[in-house]
Amino acid sequence: MSEQHSPRRPYLAPLTASWWLKHRYYRFYMLREATVLPLLFFCGCLIAGFYSLQQGEQSWLNWLSFMAQPWVMALNALTFAASLFHAKTFFELFPRVMPLLPAPLMIAGQWLGTIAVAALLLLLLGGVL
Amino acid sequence: MEKTVEKTLVIQRYNPEQDQRPSQQRYQVPFDNSTSVLDALLYIQQSLDPSLAFRWSCRMAICGSCSVMVNGIPKLGCKTFLREYSGDLLLEPLAHFATEKDLVSDMTLFLQHLQAVKPYLIRQEQSAATTPATKPQPHKQTPKQLAKYRKFSSCINCGLCYAACPQFGLNPEFLGPAALTLAQRYNLDNRDQGKAERMPQLNGKNGVWGCTFVGFCSDVCPKHLDPAAAVNQGKVASATDFVIGLFKP
């Protein structure tokens, strides 16, 4: 029988753009990926900060007052929360990708490392602010 | 226990010779604590509607034939029980695959992807087994070497992970969880020497890098293989392969 007369007519359901809304698991995944959006704003702030530092004192003071505005503080607080959430998911996935030690040990180690680096940065840069 | 309680199964029907698109049909099925989705389908086929098409074979979660979507989640029909659901059950064919008829999916793509990663032991050297003068020698493996790949070796090719993988849904050329897990399984096997043959497939755009670690594949895997971990371990292997490649003449 030629292909033309085959009774086969497989039906492929189209995948809509809203596929990720259909399941809790996909929504969680998209939330994880979306944590990069507020981070983009923070990166912009940081780059602007470095630029203003190079431009001179007045520019730097302007940047500092910009950063102190409530909406900027709120957005950056959101960025911080989103980054912590992303870190949590990442740290939990990492032992599955590189199973070097028991997973709870690796997760604890990554958090300890994060705290150590954050403490070091605060110590080094704390005097500047 | 008497089968007096009934449950409603809403089943997606599609007859390629008559229908333009799938439709839904409702069936009332008596059930007790031991009634699986597959039992319910067999009951419908035998007592209510002999035209219902679905795949099944072993009834014990080892053949991987009876994969269906139950309320939108990929499941093995034989390992899913009606008692687990409080309301109606919506049964559909596996997502991301074309439907041949009713609950029967076209698994051609899946099989092609499996084949593409050469999921078998490859030996490069001329083994002793091929020279007639010597007796065939077994390939030795220590328990430690076995443990390296063992958890990735119990795949039953049910395809649930493909129905869970949005990347496969968006790009059917993506090799997908089961194939990439199998590749990792053989790459980790000390008896195998075919890694160099598999890496081009894994390194390509439809290989391991097509995965974004959604992780749903590991959640639905009826054998708890953790395919997401295997695929992402494949990324480490792929990156290592790339770096080594830079220093090779």
User: Quick check: B33 and B4 in contact, CB under 8 A?
Assistant: no
> Across the interface, do A15 and B226 touch by the CB < 8 Å criterion?
no
Structure tokens at A110: 């990554």
d(C-alpha A118, C-alpha A120), whole Å: 5
Q: With beta carbons under 8 A apart, name residues in chain B contacting A8.
A: 16, 100
Domains defined along chain A, listed by start: 19-125 (1.20.1300.10)
Cβ atoms of B37 and B83 within 8 Å: the answer is no
Cα–Cα–Cα angle for B65, B70, B72, nearest 5°? 115
For residue B16, give how far its alpha carbon lies from the nearest alpha carbon of chain A (Å). 5
Chain centre to alpha carbon of residue A67: 20
Contact B233 A98 (CB under 8 A): yes
Q: What is the mean pLDDT of residues B5-14?
A: 96
Please judge whether A10 and B99 are an interchain contact, meaning their C-beta atoms are less than 8 angstroms apart: yes
Q: Which residue of B has its CA nearest to A95?
A: B229
Under the banding of pLDDT at 50, 70 and 90, the label for residue B249 is: confident
Residue A64 CA to residue B212 CA, distance in Å, equals 37
Report the residue from A12, A20, A96 with minimal CB separation from B98: A12
> Which are the contacts of A19, defined by CB distance < 8 A and separation ≥ 6?
A26, B166, B169
pLDDT of residue A1: 47
| R_g of chain B computed on alpha carbons | 21
**Which CATH architecture group holds B5-105?**
Roll (3.10)
Do the bridges between strand B23-31 and strand B104-105 make them parallel or antiparallel, or are there none, so unpaired? unpaired
Q: How far is CA B88 from CA B39, B128, B143, in A?
A: 16, 60, 47
How near does any CA of chain B get to the CA of A83, in Å?
18
Low-confidence ranges of chain A (pLDDT < 70): 1-4, 127-129
pTM of the model: 0.89
Residues B2 and B32 sit within 8 Å (Cβ to Cβ)? yes
Q: How far is A100 from chain B (nearest CA, A)?
A: 12
* Residue in B99, B219, B226 closest to A11 by CB: B99
Strand, helix or coil for residue B81: strand
For residue B70, which of B160, B158, B177, B3 has the smallest C-alpha distance?
Answer: B160
Inter-chain residue contact B72 with A23, CB threshold 8 Å = yes
> 1.10.1060.10, 3.40.50.720, 1.10.600.10, 1.10.3720.10: which CATH number matches B108-247?
1.10.1060.10
pLDDT grade for B131, boundaries at 50, 70 and 90: low
Is pLDDT above 60 for B234? yes
pLDDT of residue B208 exceeding 80: yes
What is the per-residue DSSP string for chain A? Answer: --GGG-----B-----TTGGGS-HHHHHHHHHHHTHHHHHHHHHHHHHHHHHHHH-HHHHHHHHHHHTSHHHHHHHHHHHHHHHHHHHHHHHHHHHHS-SS-HHHHHHHHHHHHHHHHHHHHHHHTTT-
Q: For all residues of chain B together, what is the average pLDDT?
A: 93
Is B53 in the A-facing interface, judged by CB distances under 8 Å? no
The larger pLDDT score, comparing residue A22 to residue B51, is at B51
Q: Is A5 on the interface with B (CB under 8 A)?
A: no
- What is the spatial distance between Cα B10 and Cα B8, in angstroms, rounded to a whole number? 6
CA distance A96 to chain B (A): 5
What is the distance between the alpha carbons of residues B198 and B195, in angstroms, rounded to a whole number?
A: 5
Which residues in chain B are closer than 8 Å to A98, comparing Cβ atoms? 233, 236
Domain locations in chain B as residue ranges: 5-105, 108-247
Name every residue whose Cβ is closer than 8 Å to that of residue A71 and which is 6 or more positions away in sequence. none
The radius of gyration of chain A from alpha carbons, rounded to an integer in Å, stands at 24
Confidence tier at B248 by pLDDT (50, 70, 90): confident
Give CA separation, B77 vs A19, B26, B47, B225, in Å. Answer: 23, 17, 18, 19
DSSP per position, B12-71:
EE--TTT-SS-EEEEEEEEE-TT-BHHHHHHHIIIII-TT-------SSSSS---EEEET
> Is residue B138 very low, low, confident or very high in pLDDT (cuts 50, 70, 90)?
confident
CA B169, CA B249: separation in Å to the nearest integer? 39
Which of A21-30, B18-27, B123-132 is the least confident region?
B123-132
Query: How much is the average pLDDT of B98-109?
Result: 97
